[in-house]
Structure 1
Amino acid sequence: MRIVDARVIVTCPGRNFVTLKLVTEDGVTGVGDATLNGRELAVASYLSEHVVPLLIGRDAARIEDTWQYLYKGAYWRRGPVTMSAIAAVDTALWDIKGKVAGLPVYQLLGGRSREGVTVYGHASADTVDGVLARAADFVRQGYRAVRVQTGVPGLSDVYGVHAGPGVYEPAGAAVPTEAVWSTERYLDHVPAVFARVREEFGPHLKLLHDVHHRLTPIEAARLGKSLEPYALTWMEDPAPAELQEGFRLIRRHTTTPIAVGEVFNSIWDCQRLVSEQLVDYVRATVVHAGGITHLRRIFDFAALYHVRSGSHGATDLSPVCLAAALHLDISIPNFGLQEYMPHAEVTDEVFPHTYRFAEGYLHPSEEPGLGVDIDEELAARYPYKPAALPVNRLEDGTLHSW
């Protein structure tokens, strides 16, 4: 079952996506997500120039061997561009294998470990009252978990705050916009927000919060301690994870659970964090962490240390990635939560799929393979548009983590 064609498709139905479509000599197709938000063309070029020529003629059934070939064979290992490209190939090969077997991919991964995938929604607004209203809407839809983000008094633009109707997307102009950040204002504001939310919704709704890498370890420890009365399910990305040792300091000072890893590319990025039990959830994704093959490796490793999954699932990941994530989520024993931001209607039209949401759960497709495809003719109507993520500066002008 040789690969005879490999197409890299760049499209912008609401936002930019990069998709790899493989075709075998028997006419079986598979798709994989290769989107890297704000750096999409780097991955598209890596695939087109360096990977696609290596795929033609290869046996599509040899998933593990192909993964190792692309990882070890390049010599220059890891990194978001390389691993996103490998992920696209790997995911597409799993899609093909499922179709050939006549089974949804999760059945090839060992079958169901649960009936549905618990997802969380994003309740965000400039004001606390606005957040309460949006959280109430998610509860009415059946969500069991909600991420809470609010504006901060004195700051005009804060990550994660949904400014208006439609799908939240921070990437905008070709040149990054700049915002001003104040850690002091933020730390003073957030505990009062969660006091209101917990008072409104009681003890059983799972509450989450994304710090977005903005604090030092000691600042993150202070935040986690201040949030302990409100029993968060997790505090996400409290500090940049390049210094994994820093999470030991956070752990010493707070029992608020920690989630980290949406920017991780490999098992080595979280090796110490997991093995020393410095985090509670790993948020790595199919597309950025080397595909289904490598993300399963990460989650199996995490399971040894009572660490659960919490995969990133924002709209910068295409429905192809979300479909693949659901097959992993439903099958692994240490699943925690899955982020879910519904895509724009036009995105769903370009990427027809059969996964579904019902009463707080996402359910993977029961079709052979991943249960998702790309309409290439429709995708061609939406050309790439340059869109960069913002940057942050402190009040004195110092560049800060966004």
Structure 2
Amino acid sequence: MEVTDYELFEVPPRSLLLKVETNDGLVGWGEPVLEGRAQTAAEAVRELMDTYIVGADPYDIELLWQQMYRSGFYRGGAVLMSALSGIDQALWDIKGKALGEPVYELLGGKARERIKLYAHVSGDDLGDAARSRVEEGFSAIKSGPGVDLEHIDRTPAVEEARENVRTMREAVGDDVDLMLDFHGKPSKPMAKRLVGELEEFDPMFYEELLGPEKNDLLPDLAERTNVPLATGERLYGRWEFKTLLESGAVDVIQPDISHAGGITELRKIASMAETYDVALAPHSPLSSVALAASLQVDACTQNAIIQEQIVLNEDVPNYLTDMSVFEHDDQGYVDLPSAPGLGIEVDEDFVREMATEDAWDAPVVRRKDGSISEW
């Protein structure tokens, strides 16, 4: 078997889908997106596909991964790793379909029967939004603190964050897991305040209290709170996670299967984390393709604890012919996929209908003085 052709589709809300074809008629799908820079990632995909993948045997996934990663000399980083990630997903999809098995069976078989999904909460009324997600059958939700902070802010801003988190906790009660995602927005002094001020609301974890370039400051924050710290969505490959894990500061890592190296690398990162007693909660605010790929790793990974998703939101387009693969029970648990490959069937006609070259641009957020803030 050999790879013969490929196509790329940028689709809303912020995805780039890759279709890879073989001479046997098999098709694999992956999601090599870099949100807000989809066309930049697309050009990197074309270079890698044309140079290394077209004409190659799609069964040779590890060899091709190493070839894409090492042969260019300059390696890693957001663009190249995102491109590599989606290609890797598509190759695993092809191999699973060819062998008639879900990808997780090719990675050693299942470590569980089901995995818990969580839902995002946003909007003007965080309490009502949180309650609605629980009523939809989720027992775990995630939201930000709902306030933009200055580099050094005053008590009223911190109190606003406390009130927002209190509103969500009171709306859903004590039995629902509440994760707090800071998107790397707080400065170090504000992060030090927030970890103490919000602890009484019993968060499942604090996510990205600081941006990835400040991960060396996380040990100090970890000493200030009993709440687990989580990060990793903006790290690319196991070598970037190595330093983070060695610091002992994090309890949950969140590699993204479309940025950190695909299925091949995410599995290795998860195994590294297990040796440090660190849990895996893959980042995936993307389409059903990335979610399906993430679930394949969750299925066979002992330290996977929960899975992010946005595809069950009403306002997110459905790019599958059948979304029942993501049906969950009243606690948010979804059964492991049983179909071959990634376990999904992409609705290619709808993908083509929705394709664009300008699906999404990252927002520009400014502080009160006009300077640029994280979003």
**Equivalent pair of 1:266/1:294 in contact (CA under 8 Å):** yes
- Of residues 143-152 and 239-248 in structure 1, the stretch that sits farther from structure 2 once superposed is 143-152
The answer (yes or no) to whether the contact 1:281–1:307 under 8 Å persists in 2 is yes
* Aligned position for 1:86: 84
Distance 1:43 1:199, change over 3 A: closer
Shift of 1:363: 3.0
Offset of 1:291 from its aligned partner?
0.5
Whichever residue aligns with residue 251 of structure 2, its letter is D
With 39-48 and 183-192 compared, the bigger mean Cα shift is at 183-192
Counterpart in the other structure of 2:303: 334
Matched, 1:366 2:338: yes
1:357 to 317, 327, 349: 327
Matching of residue 132 in structure 1 with residue 132 in structure 2: no
C-alpha contact 1:84 1:288 (8 A) present in aligned 2: yes
Give the equivalent residue in structure 1 for 2:109: 111
Secondary structure at the residue paired with 1:270?
helix
Give the aligned partner of residue 383 of structure 1.
355
- Aligned-pair identity in percent equals 32
Q: CA deviation at 1:202?
A: 3.1
1:65 is aligned to 63
Gaps of 5+ in 2: none
Deviation of the 1:39 alpha carbon: 0.4
- CA offset digits 1:115-136 (Å, max 9, x no partner): 211111122222xxx2222222
Matched, 1:246 2:217: yes
Q: 1:375–1:140: structure 2 CA closer, same or farther, 3 Å change rule?
A: closer
| TM-score normalised by length of structure 1 | 0.85
- Is the 2:235–2:260 contact (alpha carbons within 8 Å) kept by the matching residues of 1? yes
**Deviations, residues 339-359 of structure 1 (Å, cap 9, x unaligned):** 121256773246655522212
SS at 1:362's partner residue?
Answer: strand
- Coordinate RMSD, CA, aligned: 2.3
**Change in CA separation of 1:352 and 1:280 when aligned onto 2, cut-off 3 Å:** same
Structure 1 residues 228-247: aligned runs within 5 Å: 228-247=199-218
Among 169, 179, 198, the alignment partner of 2:169 is: 198
**1:354–1:371 contact (8 Å) kept in structure 2:** no
Letter in 1 for 2:369: D
Work out the number of aligned pairs and report it: 370
**Cα distance in 1 for residues equivalent to 2:305 and 2:158:** 27
TM-score of the two chains, using structure 2 as the length reference: 0.91
- Residue 286 of structure 1 is aligned with which of 243, 249, 257? 257
Letter aligned with residue 373 of structure 2: H
SS, match of residue 388 in structure 1:
coil
Does 2:10 correspond to 1:11? yes
Moved over 6 A (4+): none
- Cα deviation 1:184-225 (Å, max 9, x = unaligned): 454231223333433443322111111111112332122111
SS of residue paired to 1:120: strand
Q: CA deviation at 1:381?
A: 2.3
Are 1:77 and 2:75 an aligned pair?
yes
Report the secondary structure of 1:146's partner residue: strand
1:255-303 per-residue CA deviation (whole Å, 9 max, x = no partner) reads: 2211111122112222222122211111111111110000111111011
Q: What's the CA shift for 1:247?
A: 0.6
Contact 2:282 2:307 (8 Å CA) reproduced: yes
> 1:18, CA displacement in angstroms?
1.9
Once the two structures are superposed, what CA deviation does each residue of 1:152-188 show, in whole Å capped at 9, x if it has no partner?
A: 4xx7xx9xxxxxxxxxxxxxxxxxxxxx998445423
